[in-house]
Amino acid sequence: MKTIRLLLLTAIFPTVLLSGCGDKMELDQLAIVVAMGIDQVEDSDDIEVSFQIINPHGASARVATEGGGGEDASVYTFTTRGKTIVEALDKAKNITPRRLFFSHIYYLVIGESFARETGISRLFDFVERDEQMRMEFLAFIAKEETARNILRTFTPLDENPAKSVRDRVLVASGSLGIKKNISLSDALRAYVSDNEHPIILGLRNISSEDSSETDVLHRIDEHSFSLDGLAVFENDRLKDWFTTEESQGWVFLNGMVGDRTVFDTPCEGGYAGVRLHKLTQSTNASVKDGRPVFEISLDGTGYLLETTCTLDLTDPDDMEALKEAVSNELEKEIRSTIEKTRTLGFDATGLSGVFRDHHPDKWQEWKDSWFGHFMEAEFIYNINVDINLTGMRYNAADEE
Amino acid sequence: MVKQTADIEEVMKVYDEPLSGNAEKDVARLTAMLGQSDDIQVGHFLKGRIPFSVVHLEAMNNEEMIADAINSPLLHVQNQPDILPEFLFEKIEGTQSGPYYSFKEIIRSLLHGEVIVFVQGCKFAAGVIGLLVEMRNVDEPANQTVIRGPKEGFVEGINVNTSLLRRRLRNPQLRFRKLSAGRSTQTEIRLCYLEDEADKEVLAEITRRIESVKTEEVYESGMLEELIDDYGTKHRWYSPFPTAQVTERPDTVSSEIQEGKIAVIVDGSPMCLVYPMTFLSYFHSAEDFYQRFDFASFIRFIRFAAFLISLYLPSIYISVTTFHPELVATDLLINLAAQREGIPFPAFVETLLMELIFEILREGGVRMPRTIGPAISIVGAIVLGDSAVRAGLVSPAIVIVVSLTAISSFVAPAYNFSISARILRFVMMAFAATTGLFGVMIFSALLLIHLCSLESMGKPYFSPLAPINLKHHKDGFFRFPLWAKNVPFLKPWIRHDGKKENRGT
């Protein structure tokens, strides 16, 4: 017994003491990477990797240390290039005095030319293999822009530009009304499965040409970037962009919608804006006369935000008409997505997955020629939106 | 009659000598044995028909009471014609012990504060007890205070302490057993228990351990605890956990005795030991039973959380910031990183530094003269806390971690228990600094194994968690209401016969 105890002690204590604090990283030895950008270098096989690292001293608004100022930039962005991401990363070690730390990445942004020409599959291996990378960060495609320029843009309101980008999706949720984020792992999942195609959020730089990058921000509209549509991939190559309306339809089709505002419902004499919440979506697939049939149901309630219509909202019939108009607007969005997809030459709607789940046998038969069947598909819309609040008043203000 | 341990007997053996029967000679012999020590007060009354002598130690006994109880009645009967010498003892107006036939017994009684009466012609002497000068008054306990509950605490005098217990437990089954330990101090020790409730094995074990104590001195129950406790034995010396409950509150001791535990009262110490002890008892306070049960349960939960904080917080801070920064929320990590900018030390040294500073402050706070108290607080709080941050020695987060740890360590009702958390915290920090949360996990597992293996006087220390006993959890992490049957009288080693019931209307 005594020997066993001694053996145990001699085994445990050296393990702890002789480990010599291996793998130890003090916080001030870390360069916390909050965003990464990938670009294609023109006329070369190289890729350009941009790292946005946080400068804690500038980014933390509540540091009370004496002599420190909030004058420092909150993030620094630098760019390296190489044949592989690892090569670019290795070169980054020569630039930064600290170890790059990837666990806190907010988002990854991919330049449009890289997505079109090189293909995003080149990223997946590194991201999947690296132990510090989390797969749940957001992915964006820089629309008509390089990723590098997106990362070099400072943003208003938030000390940390990466957080500001993430919050656009998660908190403000943009015009698309997406309730869950589209992460790189979603894209990877779509890439590896049959007949599904990755969809990634788009990010457009809206900075004006002459505004300087490090200038203290005065105008939010001149120096920022905005969410803009969805990027449609065929396998790993960017093929086309969904417009905002088509993107909204895609969000409905994939059941990812949270709260949404329908802002341009045409109605008698003007437009109405309606805020929708509690939206539930379901899609049912069936086969009729050798053609796939999709029944798209959408239920929800909403409340009126603004109207310039001549409708009398105290009248139930007119209210019905408004509901009808909102439902039609939603139907139009979904239709536009399907129409767009039909012009692309492949099915990017995500409906193939729905069909596969409902009719696995038929899917096996059809999967190689799915797009042909998709072209023939019939769509039934069951859209039912209830408007149960009209805000603080009934009719438009100018009616009285 | 105090039972003497073997080594005290050995010391006293040289005085084993019968009395001659001549009072004057016997007193002379006694003072000679005690080396003519100047504090021996001898009163000779040799002129009467039956001469007698009174011996006591200076300032131990009340002189006036000696005169009233012994001298005057004995002098009064001198005039009666046919009185026998033995009859004289019966005239003493006080409680007697003895008769003592040898100097060994006389010396022992004398040193314990008895007044010795020698009578000419008797080959024995009597001791008069109860004339001791009163020491400190019963006062509010200094350390274990309560908001609601009795404000009495034990004092140094063992007789007063005994009476404090008797006044609470009027149970005829209450027993006191006298023992003594310490060759030089001959300290009186009393075991206190309920005859029908106490576990006989525990009683036998405590008696055996105290009787086998071999030491020169016992001034405080802490010294006795170290000699009879498990951690005093060679195979458990490394255990940082105390296995005795230490309390200065008679109500706590009464309640423990009532639950079948055994109290050890040591003369000269206001701190009483209670055996056996369980781990969870350290989160219990006397007040838990004086306040509402829901509040008491909540407070117990707070105490438990505070114990975990005082043990783990610095280690978790070290391991998370140096080994696992991915575990921290990004915004918090950025703030922490901002605070660490320009700090010259690694997180471990930083924490160690502040912990050591705090330990020094705490020790300084205990030892310093009372009047300097506020000065120390100012130096500690402002100079060391705020200025250390401003000077860039430590980061503000560390100050928060260390102060929260420090405050948490004061929450434990038992001081001797918070000490073990204090020591273990540093070991835990070393593990955290070398292998991160993995090391913290290893050390926690070792602690848990150790706790499960501990015993308090032969009873499982980690009970009722291991071995698990759900019934006893009525008074464990939670305090169930008193009317929930047999609470708080359930303890793992007590039989459960439903005899003790709490019921209202």
Which residue, A88, A102, A69, is CA-closest to A148? A88
List all residues 6 or more positions away from A16 whose beta carbon is below 8 Å from its beta carbon.
B430, B431, B434, B435, B439, B442
Query: Helical H runs in A36-160?
Result: 56-59, 85-95, 112-113, 121-129, 147-151
Shortest distance, CA B55 to any CA of chain A (angstroms): 58
Q: Identify the burial level of A367 via C-beta atoms within 10 angstroms of its C-beta, where 0-12 means exposed, 13-18 middle and 19 or more buried.
A: middle
Query: What domains appear along chain A, each with residue ranges and CATH number?
Result: 25-242 (no CATH), 257-400 (3.30.300.210)
pLDDT (mean) for A159-181 = 76
CA B255 from chain centre, in angstroms, equals 16
Written as one letter, the residue type at A111 is G
**Neighboring chain A residues of B330 at a CB cutoff of 8 Å:** 32, 34, 104, 106, 163
Contact B114, B97 (CB under 8 A): yes
Contact B243, B455 (CB under 8 A): yes
Q: How far apart are CA A280 and CA A301, in angstroms?
A: 10
**Of B499 and A222, the one with more pLDDT:** A222
Tens of pLDDT, residues A230-281: 888 888 888 888 888 888 888 888 878 777 777 778 877 788 888 888 788 8
The pLDDT confidence band at residue A69, using thresholds 50, 70 and 90, is very low
User: Could you tell me what percent of chain A has a pLDDT over 70?
Assistant: 88
**Neighboring chain B residues of A63 at a CB cutoff of 8 Å:** 335, 338-339, 341
Pairing of the two strands A270-288 and A260-267: antiparallel
Residue A290 has pLDDT above 60, yes or no: yes
Which residue, B86, B75, B30, B76, is CA-closest to B57? B30
**pLDDT given at position B302:** 92
CA B106 from chain centre, in angstroms, equals 30
**Neighboring chain A residues of B446 at a CB cutoff of 8 Å:** 12
Contact B435 A19 (CB under 8 A): yes
Residues of B with CB under 8 A from a CB of A: 321-323, 325-326, 330-331, 333-343, 346-347, 389-390, 392, 396, 430-431, 433-436, 439, 442, 446
* DSSP structure class, residue B385: I
**Neighboring chain B residues of A16 at a CB cutoff of 8 Å:** 430-431, 434-435, 439, 442
Q: What are the φ/ψ torsions at residue B116 (nearest 5 degrees)?
A: -100, 135
Contact A25 B325 (CB under 8 A): yes
The CB density around residue B439, as the number of other CB atoms within 10 Å, is 25
Shortest distance, CA B240 to any CA of chain A (angstroms): 17
**pLDDT given at position B440:** 93
Per-range mean pLDDT, top range of A25-29, A73-77, A140-144:
A140-144
Residue A83 has pLDDT above 70, yes or no: yes
Q: What is the SS3 assignment for B452? A: helix
ipTM: 0.80
Q: How far apart are CA A327 and CA A386, in angstroms?
A: 9
Q: How far apart are CA B221 and CA A384, in angstroms?
A: 81
Contact A30 B442 (CB under 8 A): no
Shortest distance, CA A393 to any CA of chain B (angstroms): 42
By CA distance, what is B335's nearest residue in A? Answer: A60
Both tokens of residue B102?
């040898």
**Of A194 and B397, the one with more pLDDT:** B397
**pLDDT given at position A399:** 56
Q: What is the mean pLDDT of each run of 10 residues along chain B (505 residues)?
A: 69 79 80 84 80 83 80 78 74 77 83 83 79 78 84 88 89 88 87 87 89 86 86 73 89 86 91 88 85 90 92 93 89 87 87 88 81 78 80 87 90 84 90 89 91 85 78 77 61 48 59
Q: Tell me what the pLDDT averaged over chain A comes to.
A: 81
